[in-house]
Amino acid sequence: MEPGSFRAGDADRKRVAERLRIALEEGRLNLDEYDERLREAFAAKTYAELDALLADIPGTAPLSQSQVVLAGTGAPAPRWRTGPDGRYPDATRRWLAEQVGSWFGVVVLCTAIWAATSVLSGEVGYFWPGWVAGPWGALVVLNTLSGLLRDEPQRWAAKQARKDAERDVRRRAKKDDEAEQP
């Protein structure tokens, strides 16, 4: 039986994903290529499928001669990590917090202003923050429900992961530039 036809495990997929991340940081892949290959890596069933994702990246070889190793533990863990199925496990929770966060902050601020003016005037005034909280809250609920039906949390998480990857690449490039200057 051909070694490439053996089924790959989660650890194999993660090693390939790590090598793809390194290739992105080295500038060998753009973000679109990285995203596409990362999805394919987590969907791969055999070693041959994983090898094909690394075939054109220098420093990689077929699994039988693999040079892919896990990155050192000194690097911080990425904020966005996909599960074995290629989805972001906590995307829905984070997306919901993002959706409700600004609304909640504004409602708290308006309520605090209302409370302060009521205390300063010596009487409880009309609760006008309800006009901020109610209609905006209804829109947030509708937007949240429609987003959940369209799997928006996963798209949002992928976009956030790409932004983080771009930021890391820029940060490393800046650090490299600073290191090269005398």
Name the pTM for this structure: 0.49
Measured over all CA atoms, what is the biggest interatomic distance in the chain, rounded to whole angstroms?
A: 86
Residues in the chain: 182
Query: What's the sign of the alpha-carbon dihedral 160, 165, 169, 174?
Result: positive
| Structure confidence by residue, pLDDT tens digits, 132-163 | 999 999 999 999 999 999 989 988 888 888 88
Q: What whole-number distance in Å separates Cα of residue 109 and Cα of residue 102?
A: 11
